[in-house]
Amino acid sequence: METPPVEILYEDNHVIAVVKPAGALSTHYQGDEETTDRLVKAYLKEKYGKPGKVFLGIVHRLDRPTSGVLLFARTSKAAARLSEQFREGSIEKVYWAVVEGEVGRAAGSLEDWLMKDEQRHRVEVVEPRTKGARQALLHYHLLGSHGDLSWLEVRPQTGRTHQLRVQLAHHGYPIYGDAKYGSVHTFAPHIGLHARSLTFLHPVRYEPITLTAEVPRPWRGRFAYLLAQGATT
């Protein structure tokens, strides 16, 4: 069999997890653009010789410029149970973020209220309890700094659209390469945001599983000085 077009992190009869590359869409809506879910379906269809359509449950997504762990369900039962874990916030998500600016505190939490601006296709921070806004909470830990860049480990407690990108930028630390939210650097198709790990309960065996994705190769060149300071990549 040919090498799969996506990097498989974990696979069994109930779930499959891959490393989503920066620049790729997590899932398709319309059109012919190659997306991560379509690539995974093609991989499963070829590997198992499945006739007809291949079921793949979408339980969460990553923004197009974000890389890292992306989890799918292989059965409707697994999809329902994993989606419930995401809704309840019981899945532990860990991101690595390279941001502009020197983060002065070694650790902290950010709490904001976010609202989608549908016309501008972006998310804004608004006054607390604004009608239609949703509360967003994240916790961060400083892993390293070099020049005007800081490397953070971020654990979102909520799962809002563009949450990490918006909150960090609002507090003066836009994610590297994220021009949509104020970065002055270019890093396309990447931004300095990587879904480092995901911990969930297996939907059938109910045992905890932690999956970890290595940082993309371009990070190792662009952020070599930062990465050398902290956790092993």
Q: Which amino acid is at 135?
A: Q
Please tell me the pTM assigned to this model: 0.95
pLDDT for residue 230: 65
Measured CA to CA, the distance from residue 119 to residue 55 in angstroms comes to: 33
Residue given tokens 């390469």 in the structure block = 177
| 233 pLDDT above the threshold of 90 | no
Q: Where are the domains of the chain?
A: 7-227
User: How far apart, in whole angstroms, are the C-alpha atoms of residue 159 and residue 6?
Assistant: 25
Say yes or no to pLDDT of 1 above 50. no
Predicted local confidence at residue 4, as pLDDT: 57
Contacts of residue 125, Cβ cutoff 8 Å, sequence gap at least 6: 112, 113, 114, 166, 167, 170
Q: Which of 12, 32, 37, 63 is catalytic?
A: 63
Q: What is the residue-averaged pLDDT of the chain? A: 94
Tokens of 105: 């505190």
CA-CA distance, 167 to 15, in Å (whole number)?
31
pLDDT digits (tens, 9 = 90+) for 40-82: 999 999 999 989 999 999 999 999 999 999 999 999 999 999 9
For the question of residue 63 being annotated catalytic, the response is yes
Rounded mean pLDDT of 74-97? 97
Q: Which residue has the tokens 């501008």?
A: 120
Q: What DSSP state is assigned to residue 92?
A: E
Q: Looking at the domain that runs over 7-227, which CATH code has it been given?
A: 3.30.2350.10
